[in-house]
Amino acid sequence: MKMNDLATVLAQTPGTLSIHLYPATGVGPTPQAAFDAALIDAGVADCVRLRESSLIPPGCKVVRAGRHTASHANHHRRVVVMSQMQQSRPGEHAHAGIGWVQRADDGGGLFIDLHDEVRERLEHDLHAAFGAIRSFHGAAVHTLLASRRCERLPVCAIVVAACAQELW
């Protein structure tokens, strides 16, 4: 398997192909600890995460999942697309987001992951990025964001698109 080939991984996964989106945030004494806390919040901390390309293969279903709904099974690997932003400046925000489009005819599509300190700019940039891609012109753009304000300790916001869970 080539790295960055989500379509190949999903094509080898039997059954209905589903990608679940998990928004999450975390806080900790260091930026790394905040990131780890966000992974726990998303339910993917105990998995080996293989970061892959952002292509959505035909026939795939994208599901918005709530926090704490991912499997916490140890020794599993999950193929993920992930957006993350850490923030250590008190009063500032961390916003992470994933946008996606899917073709109506076969469900194939694309994820884009971005982050920004300004939520409205992040939302705008996700929509604008798809507007620049000719093959998805006119397709409905869907987004999912996670946000956290830094009060004192470092924070992290992530959105994880996860699929292909299997034993490692």
**pLDDT per residue over 126-141, tens digit each?**
999 988 887 777 789 9
Pairing between β-strand 142-149 and β-strand 93-102 as defined by DSSP bridges: antiparallel
Distance CA 23, CA 74 (A): 20
Hey, is 119 helix, strand or coil? helix
| DSSP secondary structure code for residue 141 in this structure | P
Per-residue model confidence as pLDDT tens for the chain (168 residues): 344 455 555 555 555 678 889 999 999 999 999 999 999 998 888 776 666 668 888 988 898 987 655 554 554 666 778 999 999 999 999 999 999 999 888 888 999 999 999 999 999 999 999 888 877 777 899 999 999 999 999 999 999 988 755 544
pLDDT value of position 118: 97
Q: Who's near 138: CB < 8 A, 6+ residues apart?
A: none
Check if the beta carbon of residue 94 is closer than 8 Å to that of residue 122: no
Say whether pTM exceeds 0.85: no
Distance CA 168, CA 92 (A): 38
Domains and CATH numbers, the chain: 17-167 (3.50.20.10)
Hey, is 19 helix, strand or coil? strand
Which residue in the block uniquely carries the two structure tokens 């932003």? 85
